[in-house]
Structure 1
Amino acid sequence: MSGPIADASVAAVAIGRNEGERLVRCLTSLKDQVDWVIYVDSGSTDGSVAAARDMGVEVVELDTKVPFTAARARNAGFAALGDNPPPFVQFVDGDCGVAPGWITAALAGFDGREDLAVVTGWRSEIHPEASIYNALVEFEWHRPAGEIPACGGDMMVRSADFIAVGGFDPTVIAAEDDEFCTRLRKSGKRLLRIPVAMTQHDAAMTRFGQWWQRAVRSGHGFAQVGDLHPDYFRPERRRVTIFGALLPMLAVIGLLVWMPLLWGALALYVLSYVRTVQGLRREGLPPRPSLYQAVFLSLSKFPNLLGMLRYYLRKSRGRAMRIIEYK
């Protein structure tokens, strides 16, 4: 690759809270690949700020009096680049290490494509074998390459497009990256996933409670982003409503009034589980992992529902949307 894109300056904005050694790994992976690294810290108490400064990284510490969100942190990192930011910015979560060569590959993806606002790649889990929960996340990251409607927080963004849509919405506490990408698409821009290793993530989920909280956060995102963009997350909200609320209600009514309702609800759960297993198999997951991952995907509708209800309750009371942490 040669020309102006290959020679373009790139900054990186890493965000985190109490990531410890994961943050050191993240910043180390960036320093030799980009021209400028900024770390935005959301109230860490584990020495992350000192560690970043010891590495020579510029640190932005968010005001602890304002609710933390990943969106707010990314915006603060971009703002720290000044009035004339580099043409491209790589956003990355502090629990992710950036793969060698990723920055060069991402710039190549932009080459000749003025319509592209975002280039992302493949994220993988660093320890998928450590727990069933890490394995679930590992499979979650497996998405095909090509033009996409949205992506996660690890992405390279054209600075001009970031500015044009006003950056991330700091009030969105989950799926803020989906919301940002949706606005980019509505502005006429395109997003691309290239078939290149981008980051290695460290979910560090070893307990059921962590998985549950993460699913609650996802449900909150379904509701909040869906409120802002009604067409987005519509299938997810429908599935949560049916399997997390409607069928349990029918099952209880059936238990108390008419047993066929109970058996009908249970039959629909079984059918949904079988279809989930079949879907996982079609996506390439081996038989045994498909069976137990389908259990968690089916169960996730209940914490998803709690997350959706939490959003609607907060909104009705006019309360600030506060982050839901799982680590």
Structure 2
Amino acid sequence: MTPVDVVLIGRNEGARLVAALAALGGQARQVVYVDSGSSDDSIAQAKRFGAKVVQLDLTTPFTAARARNAGFDALDAPEYVQFIDGDCTLVPGWLEGGAAFLDRTPAVGMVTGWRAEVYPEVSLYNRLCDWEWHRPAGEILACGGDMMVRASLWRAVEGMNPQVIAAEDDEVCCRFRKTGARLHRLPQPMTRHDAAMLTFGQWWKRAERTGHGFAQVHHLHPEYFGTEVRRVLTYGSALPLMALAALVTLPWLLLPILALYAISYRKGRAALRSDGIPPGDATRMAALLTLSKFPNLIGMARYYLRRLRRADMTLIEYK
């Protein structure tokens, strides 16, 4: 079986990073930890576990894409590379399963598995993340940042775009596919993630970041995220503006506008229930999904404003 190298990225992850490093347990040929300006003992912990440490230049804005590129560049003659975030732990057996799949399917350039939330019981927001991550197995268009990639494919697309601050994984997957490579999700647990999302404010900020990602990646790849952008513009902007106008001119128009939100909510709740989400959680999660169009819109507007001003694409952090 082809050996796998691991690139682990993080900043101030504390105990989560220790757990991530411990879970590797000598499974990888080499481990590179990329630190984005931690003020805790992350660097010392990575060295204690035998990882090669790369410290990003503090004078350039941090992005996960930039960190992953730096980690890949620090590897010695990689063939397969597993990328993982510092708040995640690898599930035993994943590296072997992913590498074996790539070995026997040369047309597949990237393989991923299932990410699950470590503490779904702690908050509704953690449980929503857990639901979002459990997507169908098989051939896919894109995945999250936890992925196993052929080094040759990573080099062919010149890695991730360091200017993309959110959905950078979706963006690189678009370029993977444009080379003709296939992407695949195995029906196998891959990582366990500690979202540590406990408050409404954290959820709102994460939804803003998602909107920024929608706008930026859609700008770079117009064929991608089109549905998501249109949905945000409809429910986050067009319908609220129509409702305000209706208050002044035709108040009765408020009823069909509110009905559209109700229909969207019911569709979201039905999808959640069909995935086995309990009724109470499905009700509250559907409300969050409906509400998310507003922070999404803020994130999208932030991207377009930054692009207009030619400003740096700095991180939008929720923890």
What range is the shorter-chain TM-score in? over 0.9
Structure 1: 5+ residue runs without aligned partners?
1-5
* SS of the residue 2:104 aligns to: coil
* SS of the residue 2:207 aligns to: helix
Structure 2: 5+ residue runs without aligned partners?
none
Inter-partner Cα distance in structure 1 for 2:233 and 2:252: 21
Within 5 Å, give how 1:22-171 maps onto structure 2.
22-82=16-76, 85-171=77-163
Report whether the alignment pairs 1:254 with 2:246: yes
Inter-partner Cα distance in structure 1 for 2:11 and 2:23: 18
CA-to-aligned-CA distance 1:158-210 (integer Å, 9 cap, x gap): 00111011110110000000000110101100011111110000000111110
CA contact (8 A) 1:226 1:234 kept: yes
CA contact (8 A) 2:81 2:149 kept: yes
Q: How many residues align?
A: 319
Within 5 Å, give how 1:140-289 maps onto structure 2.
140-289=132-281
Alpha-carbon offset, residue 284 of structure 1? 2.7
Alpha-carbon offset, residue 127 of structure 1? 0.1
Alpha-carbon offset, residue 114 of structure 1? 1.3
Inter-partner Cα distance in structure 1 for 2:128 and 2:293: 15
CA contact (8 A) 1:31 1:37 kept: no
The amino acid that maps onto 1:248 is P
Q: Show the counterpart of 2:9.
A: 15
Alpha-carbon offset, residue 281 of structure 1? 1.9
The amino acid that maps onto 2:60 is V
CA-to-aligned-CA distance 1:21-47 (integer Å, 9 cap, x gap): 100111111242101000001111122
CA RMSD of aligned residues (A): 0.9
Alpha-carbon offset, residue 52 of structure 1? 1.1
Alpha-carbon offset, residue 271 of structure 1? 1.3
TM-score, reference length from structure 1: 0.96
The amino acid that maps onto 1:51 is Q
Q: Show the counterpart of 2:283.
A: 291
Inter-partner Cα distance in structure 1 for 2:183 and 2:204: 30
Inter-partner Cα distance in structure 2 for 1:312 and 1:324: 15
Inter-partner Cα distance in structure 1 for 2:40 and 2:204: 24
Alpha-carbon offset, residue 102 of structure 1? 0.8
Alpha-carbon offset, residue 282 of structure 1? 2.3
Alpha-carbon offset, residue 9 of structure 1? 2.1
TM-score, reference length from structure 2: 0.98
Inter-partner Cα distance in structure 1 for 2:203 and 2:51: 32
Identity of aligned residues (%): 56
Inter-partner Cα distance in structure 1 for 2:227 and 2:57: 37
The amino acid that maps onto 1:49 is I
Inter-partner Cα distance in structure 1 for 2:107 and 2:273: 35
Alpha-carbon offset, residue 144 of structure 1? 0.9
CA contact (8 A) 1:219 1:303 kept: yes
CA contact (8 A) 1:33 1:101 kept: no
Which segment drifts farther, 261-270 or 216-225? 261-270
* SS of the residue 2:315 aligns to: coil
Which segment drifts farther, 222-231 or 28-37? 28-37
The amino acid that maps onto 1:18 is N
Inter-partner Cα distance in structure 2 for 1:277 and 1:20: 36
The amino acid that maps onto 2:51 is V
